Amino acid sequence: MAYLTMENITRFYRDNHVLANSNVDFELRRNEIHALVGENGAGKTTLMKILYGLEQPDEGRIFLNGSEVFIRSPLDANRYGIGMVHQHFRLIPDFTAAENIIFGMEPKRRLFFLNRREAEEMVRSISDQFGFDVDPSAVVKNMTVGEKQQVEIMRMLYRNDETLILDEPTSVLTGRQIESLFYTLKKLTRAGKSIILITHKLNEVLSIADRVSVMRQGKVKGTYRRGEVDKKELSQLIFGRDVQFFAGRGVSSGHKFAGKKIFELKNVSIRSGDIKPLLDSICLSVSPGEIVGVTGAAGNGLRELEDVVSGLRDLSGGQVFYHGEDITNFSVHKFREKGFAYVPADRMKRGSSLQASLKQNLIIINHDGFSRFGILNRRRINSFVSKKLRQFSIDGNPDLPLHLLSGGNIQKTVLARELSIETDFIIFSEPTWGLDSAAGEYVYKKIRTHRDKGKGVLLFSSNLDEILGLADTVFVLFHGRIAGRLDNDGSLTKELVGTYMLGLEIDE
């Protein structure tokens, strides 16, 4: 039985003349997990924002239990039991988990603020009921993405939402975190909730969704029950072709990388007051034609190491070399002068400037090359920008602010920029977060091309399929140390890497 129906929804963005949703029909049943898939910019987020009251449709109606409802704001949505976790989290970093969860809907029993202990108690009871694993008194900015996400979900549960919308919840999670998220989602449907799940990972759709709706260019192409379509058909429906994402392990001949090194870390450590260092004696090197993969569970030093190699964070000890030259504690400015390219995991704050235009975002590292005597050559900039937009099929107006782009198109903008520089060393951190399979496939191809041209690639990823599919050498971090250095010679398995990630196995 249809419980929530969106009928004939149309949304046209006047700012950039985009028809984001065009006569969309969508139907959600009670207790189902309904996956919503489609390529970057297909209109998934827009449709869900309409359901959540963040956007108003130009046309169309929404029915709940058969009667029409008007959702003008998230407050209205909440009244109808609809909650949403956004593609990019919106928690307040300085608040605790409990404070974030009750924020905006504090219990009205008291005249003044309720006491902290009481709030934490309420949160703890939700946590126990559904098996979450978050300390209610922990401050959000110190949390891993997985924990933040749990906080976002608990927030909806606290508000008694019946319909839960999750916009790409899995794109930033590690394999284990995804498993536990899915476990929770299953449990929630059994408790009577209905869930809409946006994702780009077709395996997830097949494994967890009861039904799946496919969007393409603002339209819903169809809705299918579990078992009705397989991965290949889904991919056909989404892209109009079969996309070989994650297919094949592009291991490079398994040859040994000896001698020349492009980039090297020697005994790198970071201590920040505590007894336990964030990074402890990291030794690692990247040779020409090598993809070095670095992985680890969240909170084990991956992000810190990323900051070190990109020059954003100073070391407490150890050295960094580039072609044998000591560049320890170099500034990012120097780093860029050396011509390094770097795709950061944090694309929204570090990797892009959301208020700046798409064009301004694309030229941040090479605008020097477009200027003579300090004057920018606009014609050359424009032709560069339109070339990049074409090359990476970025859907957006170069002169409008970046935040108007869809999530995936913002990601592509960062990639397009970093891949445009000629360099022999590139750092990728979580390169496929938020990308649809076609774009992901393209990025993998690019990474392999770099390797095959004899360049060095340092790949940070919490996605083991990605690591095993790309890396020649795999480093696993555990508690800030290298638990293992593994050759990806074809015999390496996810399970083995997993045991290192959990610290069950540590090589000395």
Partner 1 sequence: MNRREKENIIVSFWGVLLVLGASLLFAAVLIFLLSSEPLPAVKYFFTGPFLSRYFFGNMLDAAVPLIFTGLGISLAFKASLFNLGGEGQIYMGALVTTVVCLALPEFNGLAGGLTALAAGSLAAGLLAALSGYLKVKWNVDSMISSFLLSSAVVYGVNFFITGYFKDPSSSLLSTPFIDSRYFLPHLMNPSTLSTSIFFALGGAVIIYFLLYRTRWGYEMTMCGLNPEFARYGGVNVSSYVTMPFFLSGLMHGLGGGFAVLGTYHMSIKGFTSGMGWGGIAVALIAKNNPLGVIPAALFFAYLNAGSKAAMLHTDVTFEVAAVVEAFVFFFITSEVIFSFIRRKRRSLL
Ligand X SMILES: Nc1ncnc2c1ncn2[C@@H]1O[C@H](COP(=O)(O)OP(=O)(O)OP(=O)(O)O)[C@@H](O)[C@H]1O
When asked if residue 60 is in the footprint of ligand X (CB under 6 A), the reply is no
Nearer to partner 1, 91 or 477 (CB): 91
Distance of closest approach, residue 362 Cβ to partner 1, in angstroms:
11
DSSP structure string for 196-259: EEE-S-HHHHHHH-SEEEEEETTEEEEEEETTTS-HHHHHHHHHSS---TT-S----TT----S
Distance of closest approach, residue 141 Cβ to ligand X, in angstroms:
25
Looking at 368, 452, 489, 507, which residue binds partner 1 (CB under 8 A)? 368
From ligand X, Mg ion, partner 1, none, interface partner of 42 (C-beta below 5 to 8 A by class):
ligand X
Q: Contact positions toward Mg ion, by CB under 5 A?
A: 45, 87, 407
Nearer to Mg ion, 20 or 497 (CB): 20
When asked if residue 344 is in the footprint of partner 1 (CB under 8 A), the reply is yes
d(CA 293, CA 471): 5
From partner 1, Mg ion, ligand X, none, interface partner of 303 (C-beta below 5 to 8 A by class):
none
Instruction: Answer whether 313's CB lies under 8 Å from 328's CB.
Output: no
Residue 12, classed as helix, strand or coil, is strand
x-or-dash pattern for partner 1, window 64-93, by CB under 8 A?
Answer: --------------------------x---
Report which secondary-structure segment, H or E, holds 152.
Answer: helix 145-158
Which residues neighbour 255 within 8 Å (Cβ) at sequence distance 6 or greater? none
DSSP structure string for 14-67: TTTTEEEEEEEEEEEETT-EEEEE-STTSSHHHHHHHHTTSS--SEEEEEETTE
**Among 39-47, 312-320, 355-363, 373-381, the segment contacting ligand X (CB under 6 A):** 39-47
When asked if residue 333 is in the footprint of partner 1 (CB under 8 A), the reply is yes
Nearer to partner 1, 356 or 496 (CB): 356
Instruction: Answer whether 481's CB lies under 8 Å from 447's CB.
Output: no
d(CA 282, CA 324): 17
Instruction: Answer whether 212's CB lies under 8 Å from 235's CB.
Output: no
When asked if residue 502 is in the footprint of partner 1 (CB under 8 A), the reply is no
When asked if residue 376 is in the footprint of partner 1 (CB under 8 A), the reply is yes
Token representation of residue 323: 């072609």
Nearer to ligand X, 14 or 379 (CB): 14
Count CB atoms within 10 A of the CB of residue 404.
17
Residue 285, classed as helix, strand or coil, is strand
When asked if residue 407 is in the footprint of ligand X (CB under 6 A), the reply is yes
Give 352's DSSP letter: -
Looking at 120, 152, 290, 395, which residue binds ligand X (CB under 6 A)? 395
Q: Name the site residues for partner 1 (rule: CB under 8 A).
A: 15-17, 54, 90, 310, 312, 332-333, 335-337, 342, 344, 349-356, 360, 363-365, 367-368, 371, 374-376, 378, 397, 399-400, 403
Binding site for ligand X (CB under 6 A): 13, 15-16, 18, 20, 38, 40-46, 87, 395-396, 404-409
